């Protein structure tokens, strides 16, 4: 099928089913009964609309509810100057309550390198993240997501990242907020490396956020860690799961990731938390891409029983 025809096909399929949020009431009941997971929505799924000022962070919980999604995963850059603004956070929390939406986590970027080679810089990075732990606590989230960037050799970066993470976890423990790491480029996208960091930190507040698609270690060379092996390695530490999606085939399956295989790994690990939709594709508009991902997850949940 030609690209334009395929794109039109997908849009037509999604549009035809969007009004019923893709599944029938009977299947929705099966999903709710069988699945040990709930679906949340990563705010990055709407990054184009947010950057274009077509949507704001305060709109995000309402959009999630309109799509039949009961949990939200914020991205800090969309309310970057509001971490200590209690009036703003109170308004956001009120909107979530009115919409019946749970604040799940805050994804934090741009606050420094957790595994910086210099101790003073690692401490600064930890300090920069504390306000987001406080905001997460206020909103009722269970975690903040951080990046485990560093410099140096394989083992050296593990030790540096583990040091920064442990310091932040010690603060997170005072607020009962977890500090979780996503495979998010560089060595953090190497499942062996990140699992090793978790062992080194050895703190109850530390964990992972396995992302189905973020296993590219080096974009220039194309080096990639096997995503199925990566999810297997990270699930024992998981406090969240990111169901990354880009494009879909005519059957509604994600073209880069076998969701059935990945979600079986998730289920077999004993995980029972949120599974967050993070749509990053270009063939479908953002809303339709989220709906297509939700439909796929719901089908997979039912198949897993």
Q: Per-residue pLDDT averaged across 269-298, rounded?
A: 97
Residue 50 lies in a domain: no
pLDDT of residue 34: 55
Q: pLDDT tens digits for 123-151? A: 999 999 999 999 999 999 999 999 999 99
Q: What mean pLDDT is reported for the chain?
A: 91
Nearest residue to 125 via CA among 97, 155, 161: 161
Kindly state the tokens that stand for 7: 């794109």
Residue 99 lies in a domain: yes
Residue whose entry in the numeric block shows the structure tokens 């995000």: 60
- Give Rg (Cα) of the chain: 19
Residue 16 lies in a domain: no
Residue 19 lies in a domain: no
Contacts of residues 191-195 at CB distance under 8 Å and 24 or more positions apart, as own/partner, are 191/215, 191/225, 191/226, 191/229, 191/230, 191/231, 191/232, 191/233, 191/234, 192/225, 192/233, 193/154, 193/157, 193/158, 194/148, 194/233, 194/234, 195/233, 195/234, 195/236, 195/237
Q: pLDDT tens digits for 198-229? A: 999 999 999 999 999 999 998 889 899 999 99
Residue 39 lies in a domain: no
Q: pLDDT tens digits for 252-268? A: 999 999 999 999 999 99
Per the structure, the count of domains in the chain is 1
pLDDT of residue 15: 44
Enclosing domain of residue 116: 55-304
Residue 36 lies in a domain: no
pLDDT of residue 35: 59
Residues 6 or more apart in contact with residue 120 via CB below 8 angstroms: none
CATH code at position 123? 3.20.20.150
Residue 93 lies in a domain: yes
In this structure, what is the dihedral angle of CA atoms 208, 212, 214, 215, given to the nearest 10 degrees? 90
Residue 160 lies in a domain: yes
pLDDT of residue 138: 98
């Amino acid at each position: 099928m030609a690209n334009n025809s395929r794109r039109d096909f997908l849009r037509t399929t999604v549009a035809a089913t969007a009004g019923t949020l893709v599944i029938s009431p009977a299947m929705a009941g099966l999903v709710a009964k069988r699945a040990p997971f709930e679906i949340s929505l990563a705010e990055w799924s709407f990054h184009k609309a947010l950057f274009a000022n077509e949507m704001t962070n305060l709109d995000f919980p309402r959009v999630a509810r309109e799509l039949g999604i009961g949990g939200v995963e914020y991205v800090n850059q969309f309310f970057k100057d509001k971490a200590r603004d209690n009036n703003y956070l109170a308004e956001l929390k009120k909107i979530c309550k009115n919409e019946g939406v749970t604040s799940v986590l805050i994804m934090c970027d741009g606050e420094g390198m957790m595994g910086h080679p210099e101790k003073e810089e690692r401490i600064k990075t930890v300090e920069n993240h504390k306000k987001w732990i406080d905001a997460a606590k206020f909103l009722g989230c269970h975690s903040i997501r951080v990046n485990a960037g560093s410099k140096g050799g394989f083992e050296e970066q593990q030790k540096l990242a583990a040091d920064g993470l442990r310091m932040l976890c010690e603060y997170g423990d005072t607020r009962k907020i977890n500090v979780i790491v996503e495979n998010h480029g560089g060595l953090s996208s190497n499942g062996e490396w990140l699992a090793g960091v978790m062992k080194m930190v050895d703190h109850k507040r530390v964990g992972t956020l396995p992302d189905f698609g973020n296993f590219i270690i080096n974009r220039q060379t194309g080096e990639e860690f096997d995503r199925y092996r990566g999810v297997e390695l990270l699930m024992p530490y998981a406090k969240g799961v990111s169901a990354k999606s880009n494009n879909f085939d005519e059957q509604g399956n994600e073209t880069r990731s076998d969701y059935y295989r990945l979600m079986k790994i998730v289920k077999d690990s004993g995980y029972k938390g949120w599974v967050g939709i993070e749509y990053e594709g270009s063939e479908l508009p953002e809303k339709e891409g989220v709906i297509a991902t939700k439909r796929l997850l719901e089908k997979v949940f039912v198949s897993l029983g």
